[in-house]
Amino acid sequence: MKKFKKILLYTVVTIVLVIVIAISYITLALPNVGAPEDIKVELTPQRIERGNYLANHVSLCTDCHSQRDWSRFAGPVLGGSLGKGGEVFDGKVDFPGSVHVPNITPYNLKDWTDGELFRAITTGVRRDGSAIFPLMPWPSYSKMSREDVYAIIAYMRTLKPINTSYPKATYNFPLNILMHTFPKKASLGTIPNPADTVKYGAYLVNAAACMDCHTQNDKGTMVAGMEFAGGRDFRLGNYTIRSANITPDKNTGIGNWTTPAFVERFKNFSDATKAPKTLPDDDQTIMPWYDYSGITETDLKAMYAYLKTVKPVSNKVIKFQANSSIK
C-alpha cells in the first residue's frame, strides 16, 4: 500500500511538473514569429490612396479602430473618431476578458517602426511581443500582398493624431495562456490580375475578412463545413445579431441574387448621414454597410463572382433578436 501511494505521489508530481513546464514554455517562449523586419515604407501618393481605400472600405481597419454610433442603423463611424479606437469587448458581449480596441493614429503609434506595424498586421504580435487576439482578423491580413499591407501602413501614418489611450487587454483563464499560441508567421499572397475575376474576388473577400464574421464560431474556432454560411452570434446589449448566410444556397443564402442586386445592396448605404435612428429593440446590424459601400463596383462584382463558387450551405439564419425574447 505504501509503495502504491509513493508511485501515485510521484505520478502526480510528474504531471504537475509537466504542466508547469508546458505553461512556462507557452508564456515565456511564445509567440515566436520572428523579429520585426527592418523596413521603411515610403509614403507615396499612390500608396496612401490605396491604403485609404483598403483601410476605410475593404479591410476596414478604421471601422474597428474608430467609434461607431450605435444609436443609428449599422453603426456609422462617428465624425472625428477615425482611428481613435475605444470600443470595448468584455463580459457584456460574452467576451472572456476585456479588450479596448487601441488607438491607431500616429499619437499612439509614433514610436512603432514600420516593421513592427507590419508584424502586428500580418502575424498578430504587438511591438512588445505580446499576442493580439484575432478579433483583429490578422490571420486574413497575413494572406494579403506585401504591397497592400505597406499601403495600409502608409495611410495609417497620415491619420490625424488623437490624444487618447486605453487600458491594456486582459483575458480570462485559460485564454490568457492560450493567447500565446495564436500568432503565426505570415503567408503573404499576391494581388491576382483583376481580369481573373474569381481569383481577384477571392483575394478581396479574404482582405475584407468576410469569412470571419459569416462563419459560425465555437470557442474561437470556425465551425468546419459552415464557411460563409452565417449564423455567428454577436450579443450586443439589448439584442443578438447573427451574420447572414452568404453562400450560393438558393433557399437560405444568396443563390438567387443577381450581380446587380449584390452591388446595389452595398451602394444603397453610400450616405452615412442618412443612417436612420434606432430604438433598443429595433432591427440592428454590425455589418459596416456605410464603409463597405465605398468598395468599387468592379471589386464588388469580383467578390460576388467568387462567392458564387463557394460551397452552398443550407442554413436559415434569424439575423436579429431582442435579448428579452431569448430564453
Q: Where are the domains of the chain?
A: 44-190, 192-327
Please tell me the number of Cα atoms within 13 Å of 125 on its side-chain side. 21
Q: Give the mean pLDDT of 136-153.
A: 97
Structure confidence at residue 252 as a pLDDT band (50, 70, 90): very high
Residue 284 has pLDDT above 90, yes or no: no
Please say whether the beta carbons of 66 and 272 come within 8 A: no
| Other residues' Cβ atoms within 10 Å of the Cβ of residue 61 | 21
Residues 228 and 84: their CA atoms lie apart, in Å, by: 30
For residues 121-142, average pLDDT: 96
Residue 272 in this model has a pLDDT that exceeds 70: yes
pLDDT confidence band for 91 (50 / 70 / 90): confident
Residue 161 Cα distances to 78, 97, 114, 226, 271, angstroms? 16, 28, 17, 40, 25
The mean per-residue pLDDT over the stretch 280-284 comes to 80
Average pLDDT over residues 80-91: 93
Question: What H or E segment, with its residue span, contains residue 233?
Answer: strand 233-236
Closest among 143, 155, 149 to 210, alpha carbons compared: 143
pTM above threshold 0.75: yes
Of 2-16, 23-37, 302-316, the least confident: 2-16
Residues with Cβ within 8 Å of 221's Cβ and at least 6 positions away in sequence, in order, are none
103-112, 152-161, 178-187, 229-238, range with the lowest pLDDT = 229-238
* Max Cα-Cα span within the chain: 80
The amino acid at residue 143 is K
Other Cβ atoms less than 10 A from the Cβ of 82: the count is 19
Residue with cell 483583429: 136
Give the closest residue to 86 by CA, choosing from 69, 64, 70, 105: 64
Neighbours of 4 (CB within 10 A): 8
| Predicted local confidence at residue 249, as pLDDT | 98
Q: What's the average model confidence in pLDDT over 281-292?
A: 90
How far is CA 231 from each of CA 175, 225, 227, 283, rounded to the nearest angstrom? 23, 13, 10, 16
Q: How far apart are CA 81 and CA 66, in angstroms?
A: 5
The whole-number pLDDT of residue 327 equals 39
Task: Give me the mean pLDDT over the 112-125 stretch.
Answer: 98
Between these two residues, 92 and 36, which has the higher pLDDT value? Answer: 36
Least confidently predicted of 178-182, 243-247, 260-264, 308-312: 178-182
13 against 305, higher pLDDT: 305
pLDDT at position 170: 95
